[in-house]
Amino acid sequence: MVQWSGGETGVGVVAPVMPARGADAFRFTPGTALPGRLGRTGTIVTPHGEIRTPAFIAVGTKATVKAVLPETMAELGAQALLSNAYHLYLQPGPDIVEAAGGLGAFMNWPGPTFTDSGGFQVMSLGVGFKKILAMTADGIRSDEVIAAGKTRMAHVDEDGVTFKSHIDGSKHRFTPEVSMQIQHQLGADIMFAFDELTTLMNTRRYQEDSVERTRRWAARCLREHVRLTDERPDRPYQALFGVVQGAQYEDLRRRAVRGLVDMADEHGGFDGFGIGGALEKHHLGRIVEWVCEEIPADKPRHLLGISEPDDFFAAIAAGADTFDCVSPSRVARNGSIYSRDGRYNITAARYRRDFTPLDPECDCYTCGHYTRAYLHHLFRAKEILASVLSTIHNERFIIRLVDDIRESIDAGHFEALRDDFLGRYYAGRPPASTC
């Protein structure tokens, strides 16, 4: 479990505890409800500690948040980390991670861990859009869509997906059972069922077929998960979340949730649910609300792949409990800095002689010790330290924002925080989505 000793900021150091086993190793307890909405606080209990929700789950794709130590992530207030099953399967291999004692032990992170299923990589390899989830629905409808200049590296069939490695071009095969076997070897506290992620350019007919295929894959994941759990009773329990697809169609989203919830009787049911899929940003809150209205209140709801302030307020109000996104660290490495007054690029010439912190109101290590002028110099000089210091700041900014939102729900001033924060952050430019 991650325990904090940082006083008012909630920043502290890691104190490891032994992983829990048995029936109570994973559970979710709802807390304060957001009046008139589906939003709430809560607590997720895992074998490696608790996660107070709403919570931002920082992404360490290859068992590392790029440019920062796991110990640093704990000091920044991170409650859990998420890694990518596809990438760890290719390198170093799930057998290596398992031999190391599991994902947390491998990367020296004693707190809760998540792994995704590889479903996102199926879409990105298949159509070449890489990390883009929020796209536009304008334009052509085609089930053969592919990004300009890209070649298709993944092919979906009823049984699974055949794909080529982005590393060396070698051929591989993922099925629901293979995804579960890989994730069980990786040993994360929370795993996701293997799903097919479509694009907004796919036809309505394909979206319908894909939702049904994802449901069938989810049932196979659940059966394999039960089998593997029974075979390894000495291991800490790993929770499995079903993933809800359906693009921007309300009927498909609701149908997808009901299909997953109905598996409770036959297979024991999912421990929680993930909300996936490409969507237009301004529809985010509405889509999350459709899904959360169908999910039992005692199950945690994870929204895959968001990290902008307006997205957090919209998704939390609509009922999402946890979120993950690689964006804070990725944009940091490109010099894009979060601040209370909006995002800005530290490489701009006006920061060359600016000796103030990246954000004067931030409590992170970078803002307490370094200036905009120094970060500007590091980026211009292409020094590795630029990525380290900027990532520390961006991760802390996002973690702290979600922590503040959680506290505002408990204290009864969510709307006041939302209006104040977004009004200032997007001053002069309206947010792309609203609650």
Angle between helices 309-318 and 384-411 (to 10 degrees): 30
| CA proximity to 176, closest of 198, 154, 191 | 191
Beta strands in 141-300 (DSSP E): 154-156, 161-164, 171-174, 190-192, 239-244, 272-275
Residues catalogued as catalytic:
116, 324
Rounded CA separation 327/9 (Å): 23
Instruction: Enumerate the H helices of 76-203 as residue ranges.
Output: 85-90, 94-99, 103-106, 119-127, 176-186
Task: Specify the DSSP element, H or E, that contains 57.
Answer: strand 55-59
Residues 357 and 370: beta-carbon distance below 8 Å: yes
Q: With 0-12 CB in 10 A as exposed, 13-18 as middle and 19+ as buried, what is 273?
A: buried
| CA proximity to 271, closest of 292, 233, 235, 302 | 302
Peptide bond into 309 cis (omega under 30): no
Please state the separation of Cα 14 from the chain's center in Å: 22
Non-local CB neighbours of 58 within 8 Å, separated by 6+ positions: 65, 73, 78, 80, 81, 82, 324, 328, 329, 395, 399
Task: Specify the DSSP element, H or E, that contains 227.
Answer: helix 204-231
Phi (first) and psi of residue 171, to 5 degrees: -95, 140
- For residue 191, the cross-strand partners are 115, 240
Q: What is the residue whose two structure tokens read 């304008």?
A: 138
Amino acid letter, 157: D
| Sheet with 49-53: strands ordered across | 27-33, 40-46, 49-53
